[in-house]
Structure 1
Amino acid sequence: MSEAEITTNTGDSPNDLVENGLNKLVVKCKYCGSKILDKKLGKYILQEKELPLMQQDTRKEGEIQNEKVNQFYHVENMFTFDNIGFTHTVDCYKYLSCADCDAGPVGYYDMNSKHSYVALSRIEHA
Structure 2
Amino acid sequence: MSSSTPSQEPTSSENTNLKPEECLSNSERRNDKKIVCIHCSSIILSFFNRPGDSIWLDGDEREMPMARQKKGGDLTETEKLQGWWTVADMFTFENVGFTNSVDGIRYLTCADCDFGPIGRVTESNLHIVAPSRVKME
TM-score band, normalised by the shorter chain?
0.7 to 0.9
Q: Percent identity?
A: 36
- Structure 2 residue aligned with 1:114, among 107, 122, 125? 125
TM normalised by structure 1 equals 0.84
Take 1:18 and 1:91, find their aligned partners in 2: how far apart are those partners?
A: 33
Q: Does 1:74 align with 2:103?
A: no
SS at match of 2:22: helix
Corresponding letter in the other structure for 1:121? S
Please provide the CA RMSD for this pair: 1.6
Q: Deviations for 1:60-83, whole angstroms, at most 9, x for unmatched residues?
A: x22100001101111000111000
SS at match of 1:22: coil
Corresponding letter in the other structure for 1:19? S
**Which blocks of at least 5 consecutive residues in structure 1 are unaligned?**
1-9
Count of paired positions: 115
TM normalised by structure 2 equals 0.78
- Deviation at residue 92 of structure 1 after TM alignment: 2.9
Match of 2:75 in 1: 63
Take 2:97 and 2:21, find their aligned partners in 1: how far apart are those partners?
A: 28
- Deviation at residue 11 of structure 1 after TM alignment: 6.6
2:37–2:43 contact (8 Å) kept in structure 1:
yes
Structure that is richer in strand per residue: 1
Take 1:11 and 1:38, find their aligned partners in 2: how far apart are those partners?
A: 16
